[in-house]
Amino acid sequence: MEETYAPVIDRLEAFTAADFEGHEKERLRLIASARKLVSRLETNEEKFYGISFAEPIIYAALKTCIDIGLWRGWTAAGGGEKSLEDIAKLAEADCDLNLLRRLLRLLGTANIVEETGEDRYKPTSFSFTIGDDSSLIAGALVARVHHWDPCSQNLPSFLAKNSYREPLDSKDTNYHQSYPEGLSFFERGLSNPVYQESWSGFMTEWAKYKIPWPKFYDTASLIDGADLSDGKPLLIDIGGHHGVDLLHLPAKHPDLPAGSLVLQDLPGVVSGLDLGTDKIKVVGHDFFEPQPIHGGRAYFFHAVFHDWSDEIAIKILQNIVPAMKKGYSKLLICDIVIPPTGASMIQTVMDVNMMSLLSAYERTEAMWRKLINEAGFKIIGIWKDPRDFEAVIEAELA
């Protein structure tokens, strides 16, 4: 019997992401199938053990290694297979050898490091990247203890207290009730640079996973017919955080004039931000206030409206209406569009986290159409990314 299974196991163990270069949908389908396979193979006892007992302590071991500077030291040394004693010398803090042995042994079973022999390990590509100072993954991981964990733990109590009604009040969220400060997610981030930094790190690293929107939306159609004379803007990215979305445009259209792209976010978010190009102008702006830049070719929102209920989202949208030129200006929304069936784990995890953190939600196409129509727009088209994760919704004034 073991001989029958061996070729199947060998084939499964041979797969890597590189095998699916240019076949992203197939890679994601295999991941979903692998999750279903694990679920079918696991006993009920193994399931509850993994969810309740194993996953939290694996994260704790991982974060401890962040805290002692192990990943940074190991990466700075070039990675590579090393003995436990040599690995201990790479840490910034003095760590008891047997304590480190127990942590690495656990992380080896979680495939965060690779055990190569007795007391010998080497980093995986993931753990190597954690220690890379050019990456923000370490900060993105720390965001879990700053933001996600306390909220997730409090959510069942919060929902029970609300008689299991869908939370929609952005002024009294689960996040408000999960922390002693009693602040919203955004207020708490701005109140403490440490919390803002970990969230920003998470957002920056997660943005790298997303397929850049100009790869599945025809940005040349924006430039065609655009009036860029006298400093008129091509695109205003509203709530654009650190400008990742805007930076894709000069790369694709290097002839854009200086200042034709505008990044807007709260002054506390964009203060001192240097994007390294004169094509992007950085402006502090609160999207709850009227849009100050009139006559733009496009007003762009990426992953903004999943933070807000329809009532608030309509107010944000209506703040740009007076600035738009009918028949010329476009509204572009890049966000998750949840399918009627077969939503991915990433989409559903994001949806329920938006509920937990902000009393908000991801939207189906029908929900998007209702929101956009009620705000005074009409949808021209919807372009989905090759993963079917996000889409660009193009609309105009009705």
Supply the residues annotated as catalytic.
306
Classify the phi-psi angles of 360: left when phi > 0, otherwise alpha if psi is within -120 to 50, otherwise beta.
beta
List, in sequence order, every residue forming a beta bridge with 333; answer none if it has no partner.
301, 393
Is the separation of the CB atoms in 71 and 141 below 8 Å? no
Pairing of strands 261-265, 235-238: parallel
Count the neighbouring beta carbons within 10 Å of the beta carbon of residue 309: 18
Count the neighbouring beta carbons within 10 Å of the beta carbon of residue 152: 16
Count the neighbouring beta carbons within 10 Å of the beta carbon of residue 133: 9
Q: Show the tokens assigned to 172.
A: 């009294």
Closest CA to 193 of 122, 133, 271: 271
Closest CA to 86 of 123, 58, 61: 123
Count the neighbouring beta carbons within 10 Å of the beta carbon of residue 197: 16
List, in sequence order, every residue forming a beta bridge with 258; answer none if it has no partner.
none
Determine whether 199 is exposed, middle or buried from the number of CB atoms within 10 Å of its CB (0-12, 13-18, 19+): buried
Phi, psi of 301 (to 5 degrees): -130, 125
Is the separation of the CB atoms in 273 and 306 below 8 Å? no
Q: Which amino acid makes up residue 105? A: R
